[in-house]
Amino acid sequence: MANAAQTDSVSTARWGVAAALWGVSWPLGWFMGGESGALLPAIWPSIVALGVVYLTRQALLGLVAGAIAGAIILTNGQPWAAFLSLMGDYFAPHFTNEWKMSAVAFTLLLGGFAAVLERSGGLEYFLRRYLLRGGESPTRLQAGAAGLGLVCFFDGLANSVLVGRLVSPLADRHGVSRVKLAYIADSTSSAVACVAFLSTWIAYQLSMIRDGFAQIGEEANPYAWFLRSLPYNYYCWFTLLLVGLVIFRQFNPGPIGTYERAAREKVGQGDAVAETSTATSGGLILCVIGLATLFFSLLIGLYGFGLPSAEGDAAAYFPITADKLTAAFGSQAGAFVLVFGGVMASVSALVLFPVSGRSYAKGARAYGQGVKHLLAPVMILVGAWMLSSTLSSLGTGKLLGDLVGQWAPLSLIPVLIFLFGAVISFSTGTSWGTMGILMPLAIPLIANHPGAAGIDLTPFYAAAVGAVFSGAVFGDHCSPISDTTIVSAISCDVSPHDHVRTQLPFALLSALTAALVGFLPVGFGTSPWIGLLLGALVLIGATFLWPVRRVGA
Pick the closest to residue 86 from 71, 105, 66 (CA basis): 71
| pLDDT score for 457 | 94
Q: Are residues 30 and 135 in the same domain?
A: no
- What ranges in 76-177 are assigned the alpha helix state H? 79-89, 98-120, 122-126, 138-151, 156-167, 171-174
Q: Are residues 46 and 170 in the same domain?
A: no
Residue 496: inside a domain, yes or no?
no
Q: Are residues 109 and 77 in the same domain?
A: no
| pLDDT score for 272 | 45
Q: Which residue type sits at 25?
A: S
| pLDDT score for 550 | 55
Q: Are residues 353 and 295 in the same domain?
A: yes
Question: How far is Cα 247 from Cα 138, in angstroms, rounded to an integer?
Answer: 9
Domain range enclosing 10: 1-90
| pLDDT score for 270 | 46
| pLDDT score for 274 | 44
Of 53, 70, 90, the last residue of a domain is: 90
Angstrom distances, CA of residue 508 to CA of 309, 330, 515: 45, 37, 10
Q: How many CB atoms lie within 10 A of CB 368?
A: 12
Q: Are residues 75 and 117 in the same domain?
A: no
Q: Are residues 166 and 73 in the same domain?
A: no
Contact 432, 193 (CB under 8 A): no
| pLDDT score for 225 | 92
Pick the closest to residue 399 from 433, 447, 457 (CA basis): 447
Q: Are residues 146 and 292 in the same domain?
A: yes
How many structural domains is the chain composed of? 2
Residue 399: inside a domain, yes or no?
no
Residue 248: inside a domain, yes or no?
no
Q: Are residues 131 and 278 in the same domain?
A: yes
Of 319, 352, 375, the last residue of a domain is: 375
Q: Are residues 58 and 161 in the same domain?
A: no
Question: How far is Cα 381 from Cα 372, in angstroms, rounded to an integer?
Answer: 15
Residue 260: inside a domain, yes or no?
no
Contact 327, 310 (CB under 8 A): yes
Q: How confident is the chain (553 residues) per 10-residue block, as mean pLDDT?
A: 54 76 78 66 86 83 90 90 93 88 86 88 81 72 88 76 77 84 91 86 88 89 90 98 92 85 70 54 89 87 73 64 65 78 93 91 93 86 88 81 80 94 84 89 91 91 97 89 81 85 93 97 95 96 73 53
Question: Collapsing DSSP states into helix, strand and coil, what is residue 74?
Answer: helix
Residue 414: inside a domain, yes or no?
no
Question: How far is Cα 112 from Cα 110, in angstroms, rounded to an integer?
Answer: 5
Residue 553: inside a domain, yes or no?
no
| pLDDT score for 268 | 54
Q: Are residues 82 and 104 in the same domain?
A: no
Single pTM value for the model: 0.82
Residue 115: inside a domain, yes or no?
yes
| pLDDT score for 59 | 81
Of 357, 375, 393, the last residue of a domain is: 375
Q: Are residues 287 and 356 in the same domain?
A: yes
Residue 451: inside a domain, yes or no?
no
Burial class (CB in 10 A: 0-12, 13-18, 19+), 480: middle
Distance from chain centroid for Cα 512: 19
Q: Are residues 307 and 175 in the same domain?
A: yes
State the DSSP string of 471-520. Answer: HHHHHHHH-TT-HHHHHHHHHTT--HHHHHHHHHHHHHHHHHHIIIIIIH
